[in-house]
Structure 1
């Protein structure tokens, strides 16, 4: 959890807490994922603090009738017009007008920009290290920011972020869900039995539904393939998986220096801020190794079984009694996943 003092309206400066849920999945070595996991919070905090300090300085100078000189980072300019609202703050890639700074969601824009800058810095920093030490590793990233009861998701590669949201089902829908879970676990060889089934049929029950927050960056996605091919790369299939230049199975990543000149980028795809509702029970980020044997709905089914008075009595890994993330990972391994598995979650 990180805490910041943020502008929130024209006459309001308040403290905002930010929680981060993240998963990094390395390939061709662990160096890129290890650096990303170690540096994300530091870079994110650094950029958020800098942008907020720059904003406060800008507002202070405006109130004193002074403006910083144009040039470098964090300069101000006046757009055509003579009103105070015509002033704008420039911070590298972005420009904030006073009306935007005084809006209720300005601090959320700062947090979003800080995350994008942090991932860009991690990729640039690892690129220098990779060049110096001849490293070819890369990493995916799935990151969720939580602030003011809102969430933002950003991803690079094929790690995934999603919500498990509670939805009440009619008796007919509940019966179909229970039968699906029952048959699935029986196929997996689990010893299970129904309980309270009569009450379920009469009254229905709540259940968790998966809501995906990210889209995978695979080379066969039309827009991703177009970028790779425009940069001189190609997409071909090997072992049933589409790959950049016949090797890399993702079209966006941190690191992967040999592929950066062929259209592989580290720019995250962002699902912008959206409010959490009372029905949103779990936030989850997982590597693709988890999803090799479990779908996102399977993970939500697992959490529903564990943390609600579900009418199926099932046997799970011992880790499920104390760690949501370990439970998801261990369940994927028990189902036979052979890839790297990692998970992070927030209830």
Structure 2
């Protein structure tokens, strides 16, 4: 083992030891992790270029889902030449229930809490050059309250393969989610809120992704896969049957037999109380898992075993600590990242969503090639930019019979041919009332151009 690798191992060991002390003393508000790892072979990576978001109230009386997406947060990590900005993307869906307060706070406060945690780690990491990133007034205030936790003195730890940076970003996200829950719990007690929310958050850094999940929203990749002729035939028959189930009049010969398709690579596991490990925690805390209306629920009522908020269920084993799918490299075949609330999946699966995106891409490719030289096509493409791939996903979910609110965020990676549905507009749809607390009015709605 060379000197640099040895130093890195020692520093990471100290870092984990400090976090374990935090876990032992801070309870649920600590940065303790539940981690499981999935695949993702390292490869040259397609850069993401745009971000799309869509929500629909659907057949529900109120809209409780929220989305968040930004692909260019800059975190100034120490470097041997001073500091170097690391671009970070965050994609998130929050599925609220029993009110929109929890999902609203989570979507509004995620970025602030994430940055606070990241800058706190950095401010407590004194470099050999005595450098401190320019944090701004808010981050300085936060950092000054954590002066007692200086950890490392080696700027070399921020060079090399970036493992230390990734660890800091992971801990910052986990800490942000748990702290949002703590802050909301205080507000819930003050304003008598009974609401809760899922939180499915994806970090994107330098061609790698990490997912922190609380509840039953989903994150997955649609990855281009090559099929054998027999597999292609089976895919064709599956798509044909799905169209017929949707009431679409279609013939088998209308489908082209192709040797490529998108396969869904799921990045999350649902936190339902009938999952053995989740049931064990709930029952150990004195809760019960009972089935109502065909769904397993905590004490016969709450359908998720992890959530932001749901304060009255915390004593029965419902927690806000996210389950983390650790860093993995994107590959050239990974074409789309999709994050969506469970309403999208009432009548369809992640694979159905990937099939839809493949259909849209193929339709777009054929239509754009036939009209690429027409000046009118560019104007029509521009006018259709308000309807995105995310819109297609949520509208298809409702069309197939979903009874829930639906929300989806789509990030297309570096495809040679982007569907004409693809737009660079991100809408954060919110719910604000004059009688609600101040944090719900901050940044209540905006459109972010990526």
TM-score by length of 2: 0.64
SS in structure 1 of the partner of residue 91 of structure 2: strand
Measured after TM superposition, the shift of residue 47 of structure 1 is 1.6
Aligned 8 A contact 1:20 1:143 in 2: yes
Distance change in 2, residues 1:155/1:171 (3 Å): same
Is 1:344 matched with 2:409?
Answer: yes
Distance change in 2, residues 1:243/1:100 (3 Å): farther
CA offsets 1:209-232 (integer angstroms, 9 cap, x no match): 000001000011111111111111
Report how many aligned residue pairs link the two structures. 313
CA offsets 1:139-191 (integer angstroms, 9 cap, x no match): 00111111100000110000011000000112222122112101210221113
Alignment partner for residue 272 of structure 2, among 192, 201, 218? 218
Task: Provide the rounded CA distance (Å) in 1 between the counterparts of 2:221 and 2:172.
Answer: 23
Is 1:169 matched with 2:227?
Answer: yes
Aligned 8 A contact 2:129 2:155 in 1: no
Measured after TM superposition, the shift of residue 60 of structure 1 is 4.0
CA RMSD of aligned residues (A): 2.8
CA offsets 1:256-314 (integer angstroms, 9 cap, x no match): 0000111100000000000000100000111111110110000000000001359999x
Task: Provide the rounded CA distance (Å) in 2 between the counterparts of 1:97 and 1:249.
Answer: 47
* Matching residue of 1:66: none
Stretches of structure 2 lacking an aligned partner (at least 5 in a row): 1-71, 132-143, 368-382, 413-450
Measured after TM superposition, the shift of residue 338 of structure 1 is 0.3
Is 1:3 matched with 2:74?
Answer: yes
Is 1:247 matched with 2:301?
Answer: yes
Deviates more, 1:292-301 or 1:168-177: 168-177
CA offsets 1:65-112 (integer angstroms, 9 cap, x no match): xxxxxx9735467xxxxxxxxxx44xxxxxx98885555221111111
Aligned 8 A contact 1:7 1:106 in 2: no
Stretches of structure 1 lacking an aligned partner (at least 5 in a row): 63-70, 78-87, 90-95
Distance change in 2, residues 1:59/1:232 (3 Å): farther
Measured after TM superposition, the shift of residue 322 of structure 1 is 2.8
* Matching residue of 1:73: 146
Task: Provide the rounded CA distance (Å) in 2 between the counterparts of 1:320 and 1:183.
Answer: 31
Aligned 8 A contact 1:319 1:327 in 2: no
SS in structure 1 of the partner of residue 301 of structure 2: coil
* Matching residue of 1:232: 286
1:171-186 counterparts in 2 under 5 A? 171-186=229-244
Distance change in 2, residues 1:99/1:333 (3 Å): same
* Matching residue of 1:16: 86
Alignment partner for residue 31 of structure 1, among 98, 101, 112? 101
Alignment partner for residue 191 of structure 1, among 244, 249, 256? 249
Aligned 8 A contact 2:127 2:155 in 1: no
Task: Provide the rounded CA distance (Å) in 1 between the counterparts of 2:194 and 2:333.
Answer: 43
Distance change in 2, residues 1:58/1:7 (3 Å): closer
* Matching residue of 2:191: 133
SS in structure 2 of the partner of residue 211 of structure 1: strand
TM-score by length of 1: 0.82
Aligned 8 A contact 1:23 1:343 in 2: yes
